[in-house]
Amino acid sequence: MNIITCLVLNRPYNVSKVICEYLKENVRSGSGKYIMYPRFIMMMIDDQFKDIPKDAKDVLGLRNMTSETITRLT
């Protein structure tokens, strides 16, 4: 609700801080729920350690959705 309020009032809001706070809460609780944030964790690692070599097999390619792709999914 805070995010929507800030958007409506055109005020800055640090969404990354909110995500990081929830991440820290989940890590401290020991529940293993911090694994819910894999992309956010990857972004933090990429920011701290520039030019980490990546295995080409681990990179997912993006493709446009076509009617054929949608048909296969359904």
Q: 12: which residues sit within 8 A by CB, 6+ positions away?
A: 6
Structure tokens at 28: 């401290």
Does the pLDDT of residue 24 top 80, yes or no?
Answer: yes
Mean pLDDT of the chain: 80
Residue 34, pLDDT > 70, answer no
Largest CA distance in the chain: 45
Residue with tokens 């997912």: 60
Q: Read off the pLDDT of each residue in 16-37 and give the average, rounded to a whole number.
A: 78
Residue range 49-58: mean pLDDT, rounded: 80
* Residue 59 DSSP SS3: coil
According to the model, what pLDDT value does residue 17 have? 84
Whether 26 has a pLDDT exceeding 70, the answer reads: yes
Residue ranges per structural domain of the chain: 2-73
Greater model confidence, 35 or 56 = 56
Q: How far apart are CA 33 and CA 40, in angstroms?
A: 13
Higher pLDDT, 31 or 13: 13
